Amino acid sequence: MKKKIIAAVLGVLMAGATAAYASPVTDFEKGDITVEFGSTLNSTFHGSGEVEGEAGGKSGFKYGVTAGLGDDWAIQFKGGKFKSEDFSAYSTSLHTTVNTYGKSTHQEFNLIRRLSPNVAAVAGWVQNKFSYSNTVEPATIASVHAGLIANQKLDEKSTLFAAVFGGKDVLFWEAGISYQIAKDTHFNVSYGERQFKNVDLDVPAYSLHKKEDYKLKGITCLFSVDFK
């Protein structure tokens, strides 16, 4: 199923389009800045490995800033925070179930290069910090990642977009639609999944040192504003 989903996303990426970059960036002119802010719906936090558990989202937000550099180049910063609802998690080593919650703090820096009128390449650095309750040490995973982004215009105001990024122990894909609600403002809705593997899981009180895999997924709703 995962291969089929990624193949479908790549199909959207390589389809013809008039804009250059997945929502919300539409050009790479020097000095152009795009700011985005929003949150997620029906999001879930899933851990597997030493601790098995899944929960829906309780609160969170996302934001980003992209600046055009000219000559088909742009730089980008994205971030976000997420907290799940309380859930029951089972430890395979301790053979016990505990009630806890999951927290995720995300940051990434990207350099974007337009390859054609409809496709752009991205290379950058991504970092995610995970934490549970006070008994579990916070853990951070960081990696270089790279991928492709693109969009396809449906009409004067609506555009499909998609993205696929990957790196060591990290994978992200997203597909959605952007709708222009004002001259320089868009409302973007997308579904995406972000995976992190082999994240440290340390519980000092029990001398437990294991690895954990995480998957965060859900529907993202963002407003983006272009400043030219």
* Statement: residue 4 has pLDDT above 50: no
Distance CA 196, CA 186 (A): 30
Please give the C-alpha separations between residue 201 and each of 33, 70, 97, 136, 161, in angstroms, as whole numbers: 38, 43, 16, 7, 35
pLDDT tens, position by position, 30-86: 889 999 999 988 899 898 988 888 899 998 999 999 999 999 999 999 999 999 998
| Stronger pLDDT, 9 or 200, i.e. the higher one | 200
Q: What are the extents of the domains in the chain?
A: 2-227
**pLDDT score, position 215:** 94
Q: Is the pTM of this model over 0.75?
A: yes
| Of 64, 74, 71, 62, the residue nearest 26 (C-alpha) | 74
Distance CA 3, CA 173 (A): 11
State the pLDDT confidence band at 27, using cuts at 50, 70 and 90: low
pLDDT 10s digits, 132-190: 877 788 999 999 999 999 888 899 999 999 999 999 999 999 999 999 999 899 999 99
Q: What is the DSSP string of 120-169?
A: EEEEEEEEEEEE-STTS--EEEEEEEEEEEEEEE-SSSEEEEEEEEEETT
User: DSSP letter string over 10-26?
Assistant: HHHHHS--SSSSSTT--
- Please write the tens of the pLDDT for every residue from 217-227: 999 999 999 98
Write the burial class of residue 23 (CB in 10 Å: 0-12 exposed, 13-18 middle, 19+ buried): buried
The CATH architecture to which 2-227 belongs is: Beta Barrel (2.40)
What is the Cα–Cα distance from 25 to 48, expressed in whole angstroms?
Answer: 35
Q: Is the pLDDT of residue 101 over 90?
A: no
Quick one: tokens of 203?
């519980």
